[in-house]
Amino acid sequence: MSTKKAGKNLTRSFKISNPEKIKIACVISEWHSEITENLFIGVKKKLMMHGLQEKNIHEIHVPGSFELIFGTKTLINKDYDAIISIGCIIKGETKHFDFISDAVIKGIKDLNVLSDIPIILCVTTDNNIQQSIDRSGGKYGNKGEDSAEAALKMILISSKK
């Protein structure tokens, strides 16, 4: 297995056998849709680069990042190999950011512990909109692509494909 340096991340190459059989659901928050849609574009691009068929990449929209938990939960026992939860939480002037970020991360973690399929957290938690732009296709790349790669690697680990 070869390695290559990609920014701050060390990425190992891998190959998915039968990628055309893999089905992935993306639960996407509508709040900050200019960011979450770009993250989804990154997810879709990376999955298709690995041979997944577009028809097997499903998108489900929920109102906000907090609703990602329930939206993701409803898909766990469906016919998916992985679920990617996509959201964007931007710090404001109140503690709401802290409460929502903490709840979403813990909620997705709890679902991951109970699930037989990988659930990938693709939620940016940024101090301002510019940081979110930079991480959703801007100068720091697209965290959606990283999340798609994580999903594929976790599918390999779960021995489903």
Question: 106-128, pLDDT tens digit by residue?
Answer: 999 999 999 999 999 999 999 99
Cα–Cα distance for residue pair 115/54, rounded to 1 Å: 24
| Average pLDDT of every residue of the chain | 91
pLDDT of residue 132: 96
Domain annotation for the chain: domains and CATH numbers: 26-157 (3.40.50.960)
pLDDT at 82: 98
Q: What are the catalytic residues?
A: 96
Say whether pLDDT at 3 is over 80. Answer: no
pLDDT band at 75 (very low <50, low <70, confident <90, very high): very high
Q: Which residues pair with 3 in a beta bridge?
A: 12
Which helix (H) or strand (E) covers residue 96, if one does?
Answer: helix 96-114
The CA distance from 151 to 2, in Å, is 19
**What's the confidence (pLDDT) of residue 93?**
87
Please give the average per-residue pLDDT across 79-84, as a whole number. Answer: 97
Residue 3 Cα distances to 13, 37, 54, 68, angstroms? 6, 30, 28, 33
- Amino acid 1: pLDDT: 31
The pLDDT value recorded for residue 29 is: 98
**Cβ contacts of residue 6 below 8 Å, gap of 6+?**
none
- Give the pLDDT of residue 11: 61
**Among 146, 158, 11, 8, which Cα is nearest to 84's?**
146
Q: How confident is the model at residue 9 (pLDDT cuts 50, 70, 90)?
A: low
CA distance 47 to 49: 5
Look at residue 117 in the predicted model and tell me its pLDDT: 96
pLDDT of residue 159: 66
Average pLDDT over residues 126-150: 96
Q: Give 72 or 158, the one with higher predicted confidence.
A: 72
